[in-house]
Amino acid sequence: MRSVQDHLATVLAAAGPVPPLDVVLHDAAGCILAADVLAPVDVPAVPVATRDGYAVAADDTYSAGARGPELPVAHDLHAGSAAGLRHVPGTAVRVASGAPLPRGADAVVPVEETDRGQARVAFQRAARPGQHVRYAGADVRAGEVVLTAGTRLGARQIALAAAIGRGRLPVHPTPRVVLMSVGDELVEPTTAARPGTVFEVDGHALETAVRDAGATPVRVGAVPDEHAALREALEDQLVRADLVVLTGGLSELAHDTVKDVLAPLGTVRLDQVAMTPGTRHGFGTVGALGLDVAEPGGRTVPLFALQGHPVAAQVSFEVFVRPALRAMAGHTELFRPSVAAAATHGWASPPGLRQFVPAMVLGSPDEGYRVTPVGDPAAPSVTALAHANALAVVGEGDLGVEAGTVVHCLVLEG
Instruction: Measure the CA–CA gap between 186 and 203, rounded to whole angstroms.
Output: 11
Rounded to 10 degrees, the C-alpha dihedral 374/378/381/387 comes to 10
Nearer to a second copy, 179 or 294 (CB): 179
CB of 275 to a second copy, least distance (A): 15
Beta-bridge partners for 390: 359, 411
Instruction: Measure the CA–CA gap between 348 and 330, rounded to whole angstroms.
Output: 38
Nearer to a second copy, 13 or 253 (CB): 253
CB of 36 to a second copy, least distance (A): 14
Contact assessment for residue 77 and residue 100, using Cβ atoms and an 8 Å cutoff: yes
CB of 134 to a second copy, least distance (A): 6
Instruction: Measure the CA–CA gap between 323 and 306, rounded to whole angstroms.
Output: 15
CB of 11 to a second copy, least distance (A): 19
Nearer to a second copy, 55 or 233 (CB): 55
CB of 293 to a second copy, least distance (A): 26
Instruction: Measure the CA–CA gap between 21 and 6, rounded to whole angstroms.
Output: 32
Nearer to a second copy, 119 or 379 (CB): 379
CB of 118 to a second copy, least distance (A): 11
Nearer to a second copy, 54 or 283 (CB): 54
Which letter does DSSP use for residue 112 in this model? G
Q: Mapping DSSP to helix (H, G, I), strand (E, B) and coil, where does residue 1 land?
A: coil
What angle is formed at CA 390 by the lines to CA 387 and CA 391, rounded to 5 degrees?
A: 110
Which letter does DSSP use for residue 196 in this model? T
Nearer to a second copy, 227 or 288 (CB): 227
